[in-house]
Structure 1
Amino acid sequence: MKINTRQLVFMALLIALSFVGAQLKVFGTIAFDSLPAFLGTLLMGPVAGAIIAIIGHLLTALTSGFPMTLPVHLAIGLGMGLIMVATWYTYVFVKKASSEIVALIVSVIVAAVCNGPILLLLCSPLLIPMLTWPGVIAMMFPLALVGGINALIAALIFKALPLSVKNQVASVTSTQV
């Protein structure tokens, strides 16, 4: 992935917005930090989105005092990066088979499911000693809900942006989208 100065500045802006979203906590470290990552994913591709998501999650955990330890939050951050990759490829695949609206809707659903149950199950070996199974299960709905809201708002912003703005920050070719 070759990044020009404009794209780097845009990524920095989205990371700064992730920090702002990290201050809007819903429950513990569940916050609105991934909205800029979802938007960055849709605009710039999976690598940029993953970078924004990882840094955004670590900023949220940092402002919460790393309640589940740094190694656990690093693993969750990497999982958030993978969610951006899954969201991107879902969007691209569905857009090829259908319309952009359908692709955005399916991507939001995938983001919510990945952000809640799937990420928690993948991280469960690290989380169960701290939270126990009931604690992990109790976090599934809030994580999926807030992750889905983050992705939905990002999709609405993406859809509302003019094509000229999308083209200015895009780091992928139009044949990939």
Structure 2
Amino acid sequence: MKTKEIVLTALFIALSFIGASVKVMGSIAFDSMPGFLGALLLGPTYGAFIGMTGHLLTAMLSGFPLSFPVHMIIMIDMGLTMAVFSLVYQKIAKKDDFSLKGVIVAGILGVIMNGPISLIMLIPFLLPAIGFAGMIAFLPVLSGIAALNIILACFVYKLLPYRIEKVRKKI
């Protein structure tokens, strides 16, 4: 691990903590924006770690409203979402500094993983507690907030000065 990677990871985790305080519904918050940005800048491993830590912070601040085991599953899903988002973006963008096509494809996949796939993973735990209607009620909120987190992360990534892009390439 390089010092720059550690410092940037810590910065993004701190930003996740701030985002975790901006809640929309229960433990659904703006904690994943730094994870998506970290996935773009630092790659899939760091992005996954930031995303997982961000969700854990949100769940802790919310008092684990869906239970500790459910939030651990969501945490794993967040890590997978960040890793896949990063890998898909890298595959499409290749050497480009910014790829609109990469952002769109990776973003759509990120929303699908963070919304419907996350809910499918939680069916055995949430369906008995909140029913089918409750599960469906989460879908637009989860997907919408995921989309906003991704859009914000991509917007910030696009606006980063060229010199920061050069630093990213050296990491």
TM-score, normalised with respect to structure 1: 0.89
Look up the equivalent residue of 1:92 and give its one-letter code: Q
Matched residue, 2:53: 55
Number of positions where the alignment pairs a residue of Structure 1 with one of Structure 2: 169
| DSSP 3-state at the match of 1:48 | helix
CA distance in structure 2 between the aligned counterparts of 1:14 and 1:91, rounded to whole angstroms: 19
Aligned pairs (5 A) from 1:136-155: 136-155=135-154
How big is the shift at 1:143?
A: 0.3
CA RMSD of aligned residues (A): 1.7
Match of 1:45 among 43, 46, 53: 43
Q: Deviations over 1:78-130 (max 9, x none)?
A: 0000001111122122224x971111122211111111111111222122122
CA distance in structure 1 between the aligned counterparts of 2:162 and 2:107, rounded to whole angstroms: 21
Aligned pairs (5 A) from 1:79-118: 79-96=77-94, 100-118=99-117
Matched residue, 2:5: 7
**For residues 127 and 156 of structure 1, do their structure 2 counterparts lie closer, same or farther at Cα, with a shift above 3 Å needed?**
same
Matched residue, 1:160: 159
Q: Deviations over 1:131-155 (max 9, x none)?
A: 2221111101100000010011100
How big is the shift at 1:162?
A: 2.1
Look up the equivalent residue of 1:140 and give its one-letter code: L
Look up the equivalent residue of 1:144 and give its one-letter code: S
Q: Which runs of 5+ in 1 are unaligned?
A: 173-177
- Percent identity (aligned): 41
How big is the shift at 1:171?
A: 7.2
| DSSP 3-state at the match of 2:31 | coil
TM-score, normalised with respect to structure 2: 0.92
Q: Deviations over 1:54-78 (max 9, x none)?
A: 1100100111100111111011000
**For residues 127 and 167 of structure 1, do their structure 2 counterparts lie closer, same or farther at Cα, with a shift above 3 Å needed?**
farther
